[in-house]
C-alpha cells in the first residue's frame, strides 16, 4: 500500500501540521471538519505539500519515516 506524506498550513495562525495518509484529500477534509483532535482548534487548513511515499509494511515504519521528515522541516 502506498502512503503519502503531507503538510497542511493553518490559515488561522500559519501553524504547520505534517502527516501520513493513504488518502490525502480525505485527511484534509477530516482536519477541516474537526475530526482530528490535534488540529481541531486551528481550522481551516490548506495544503502545503504532498509527497508520494513508499510502500510501508508496518505502522512502525510510518512513525520512523514521519520522525525523519519532521527533523528535515
In whole angstroms, what is the distance from residue 47 CA to residue 45 CA? 7
Summarised one tens digit per residue, pLDDT across range 5-36 is: 888 999 999 999 988 888 989 999 999 999 99
- Cβ–Cβ < 8 Å for 44, 32: yes
- Cβ–Cβ < 8 Å for 21, 50: no
Q: Domain-by-domain residue ranges, the chain? A: 2-58
In whole angstroms, what is the distance from residue 33 CA to residue 55 CA? 28
Among 55, 72, 71, smallest CA distance to 20 is for: 55
Summarised one tens digit per residue, pLDDT across range 31-61 is: 999 999 999 999 999 988 766 666 666 556 6
List the grid coordinates of 35.
Answer: 475530526
Q: What is the pTM of this model?
A: 0.71
Amino acid at each position: 500500500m502506498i502512503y503519502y506524506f503531507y503538510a497542511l498550513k493553518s490559515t488561522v495562525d500559519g501553524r504547520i501540521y505534517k502527516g501520513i495518509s493513504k488518502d490525502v484529500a480525505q485527511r484534509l477534509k477530516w482536519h477541516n471538519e474537526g475530526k482530528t483532535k490535534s488540529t481541531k482548534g486551528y481550522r481551516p487548513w490548506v495544503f502545503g505539500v504532498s509527497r508520494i511515499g513508499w510502500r510501508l509494511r508496518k505502522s512502525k515504519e510510518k512513525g520512523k519515516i514521519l520522525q525523519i521528515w519532521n527533523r528535515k522541516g
